[in-house]
Amino acid sequence: MRKLLLSALLIPGAHLSAKADTVFKEIKELMDSFNKRFEVVEKYMNNFPEYKSLSKKAVEEKKSDHGKAVVNNKIEMTANNEFVIIKLYLGELDPDKIVIDAFPNSLNGIVPLRNGEAKFYVKDRMFGVSFEQTSKDEQQVENKGKDSSVRATHSFASSIGSKIQSLPAEVCDLKNMVANYEDGVLELKLPRVPQKKGTKINVAKSA
């Protein structure tokens, strides 16, 4: 702001009139006054106990999240000689609440998240996942003359994204799949169909 005003007033080769000089001084005094007031407010906030505690809490939360995956709907797929490996970045959750139903050639999974759930499936060499966000509106009504109260809960679900990708290789016998969860990442290891080796054909050399 100050640079913009200075560049507007101090044009090379231009002669400042007495009126322009007065305006320049008033602007400079106003900016100096603003800077002094800002320094006072900043000094007061730094010495304010609750402000310090909030800042400290923010720093601690940032440190605690370091190294952990966050929910970004990211999917990684790779394959080796034995497995097709799928990684879902879901953030912090309770792995005991993950439900995966596996069949010979397909599987379905549900992962409860903090504010919703993620659903995924494998079928016909395709992998699909959708993320739903759920909000709850609870109302508690107390009945006069009774010890009990009535609580009504209304849930609203809205889809926030879905992805469908083809697997990098054909999978089979999904009942023997392996699932691991660590640091916000759910890893699915799906058995891969063994690659068939062809018969080597020798080429005869003609005489």
One domain for residues 50 and 83: no
Quick one: average pLDDT of 150-156? 58
CATH number of the domain bearing residue 120: 2.60.40
Mean pLDDT of the region 173-177: 95
Same domain, 119 and 147: yes
One-letter amino acid at 207 equals: A
State how far the Cα of 200 lies from the Cα of 100, in Å rounded to an integer. 42
Residue-number span of the structural domain to which 52 is assigned: 2-64
For 43-61, letters b (16+ CB in 10 Å) and e give eeeeeeeeeeeeeeeeeee
- Average pLDDT across the chain, whole number: 76
What pLDDT is attached to residue 70? Answer: 44
When divided into structural domains, the chain yields a total of 2
pLDDT band at 59 (very low <50, low <70, confident <90, very high): very low
Same domain, 93 and 147: yes
Q: Which of 188, 45, 197, 175 is nearest to 129 (CA)?
A: 188
Q: Say how far apart CA 191 and CA 20 lie, in whole Å.
A: 80
Structure tokens given for 47: 């010495």
- Among 64, 92, 107, give the residue marking a domain's end: 64
Q: Last residue of a domain, which of 45, 64, 83?
A: 64
Q: What percent of the chain has pLDDT over 90?
A: 37
pLDDT given at position 67: 41
Please give the average per-residue pLDDT across 84-108, as a whole number: 94
DSSP letter, residue 174: G
Following DSSP, what letter does each residue of 44-86 receive, concatenated? HHHT-HHHHHHHHHHHHHHHHTTT-------EEEEE-SSEEEE
Lowest mean pLDDT: which of 92-106, 131-145, 187-201? 131-145
Question: Residues 25, 82: one domain?
Answer: no
What is the predicted pLDDT for the residue at 145? 55
Name the pLDDT band for 79 (thresholds 50, 70, 90).
Answer: very high
For residues 193-200, average pLDDT? 84
Query: What integer pLDDT is reported at residue 17 of this predicted model?
Result: 58
3-state helix, strand, coil in the chain (%, to 5): 30, 40, 30
Higher pLDDT, 13 or 88: 88
Within 13 Å, how many C-alpha atoms sit on residue 94's CB side? 6
- 115 plus 173 within the same structural domain: yes
Mean pLDDT, to the nearest integer, of 167-186? 95
21 & 84 share domain? no
Residues 10 and 29 both lie in one domain: yes
How would residue 190 be classed by pLDDT, with cut points 50, 70 and 90?
A: very high
Residue 122 has pLDDT above 60, yes or no: yes
Residue 127, judged by CB atoms within 10 A of its CB (0-12, 13-18, 19+), counts as buried
- In terms of pLDDT, which residue wins out, 35 or 159? 35
